[in-house]
Amino acid sequence: MSQNILQEKHQLGIGGVAIGTAFNDISDEQSFEILKTAWNSGIRYFDTSPWYGLTKSERRFGDFLADKKRSDFVFSTKVGRLFNEVLPSEVPPTMWKKPLNFDFKHDYTGDGVKRSIEESLRRTGLESIDIIYIHDLSEDQVGDRYPYFLKQARQGAFKVLSELRDQGVIKAWGMGVNKIEPILDCINSADPDICLSATQYSILEHEDAVDRLLPAVKKAGVKLVSGAGYNSGFVTGRDRYNYKDVIPKGMIEKRDRINKIAQDYGISIIDAALHFVLSANEFVSIIPGAGDSKQVISNIESLNTQIPKDFWYELKSEGLIYKNAETPY
């Protein structure tokens, strides 16, 4: 299995949800500036998906990376949905503020995965893709069809991606999901290398992942990438939690208390949130999205911030961090 594709220099990457117009209608020019700032700041891991903006984000990443030496960056995208162009009036309602004119269907078959990869290569213009994540194969996305699609993936996507990795077409593959169970199901029936875990491990919510996810991936030799390590902006003060408008009970108070303690130590909750995720040995990278260049720079500054060890002791003593969670020091 290819476990070392993301090195220490890739600890901080950039995700493509915001560039796909998840929260605001970001223009092509704005997205280019965001990616340019990331590149000029030393970021070399770029993650996106054809789902983001109904292929818009993937195209934007490809346009930006077109003149970059392919060996200078790591690029990941996702499979699990196939897209067909439709009239503007036929575009389905989604979370995207200004998607392209496409409809989609879930498809985790072997042929579907091959087609998805071919189309991603065509959209991005890149000669290769490093990591393929099987996207949104989880109950929160496919509902009670999860067993059906999991069986489809076991017979199709899992096998095909292992073959493509072994042939050197891709370097690694795994799940890209918002829940723990799909990663555990994949590990139990296939040989993934690296999984993108979104919303399950953050400074605010991590207990279940500590008890179930981290031990399982460690035993299997699978590494993790953190998506939504800021709970889709809630940590930074946004009025949303894990891409939804409903804030879990008590979470605002918890965030504000951690933020107050952080300020007492001369740091920010964003600094703490980033370092908390990366302190877990299983996580090799965190890929926060960015809606503007300032957010990219803020993430770089957070990565380079030194956090006093007493800060972590205080959070644990107040029960704000799970007693079994890893922290720096």
What long-range pairs does 233-237 form, CB within 8 A, spacing at least 24? Answer: 233/23, 234/204, 235/202, 235/203, 235/204, 235/269, 235/270, 235/273, 236/269, 236/270
| Alpha-carbon gap, residue 37 to 35, rounded angstroms | 5
Q: Which of 78, 171, 179, 223 is catalytic?
A: 78
3-state secondary structure 118-181: HHHHHHHCCCCCCEEEEECCCHHHHHHHHHHHHHHHHHCHHHHHHHHHHHCCCCEEEEEECCCH
d(CA 121, CA 125): 6
Beta bridge partners of 172: 131
Catalytic residue among 52, 133, 230, 243: 52
- DSSP E strand stretches across 31-88: 45-47, 74-79, 81-85
Question: Measured between alpha carbons, how far is 251 from 190 in angstroms, rounded to an integer?
Answer: 36
Q: Which two tokens stand for residue 212?
A: 């179930």
* Catalytic residue list contains 151: no
Is residue 137 within 8 Å of residue 192, measured between CB atoms? no
Question: Which one is catalytic: 47, 130, 136, 271?
Answer: 47
Please state, in angstroms and rounded to a whole number, the distance separating the CA atoms of residues 282 and 150: 24
Asked if residues 195 and 174 have their Cβ atoms less than 8 Å apart, the reply is: yes
Is 243 known to be catalytic?
A: no
Query: What is the Cα–Cα distance from 164 to 151, expressed in whole angstroms?
Result: 20
Q: Quote the CA–CA distance of 171 and 153 in Å, as a whole number.
A: 19
The catalytic residue positions are 47, 52, 78
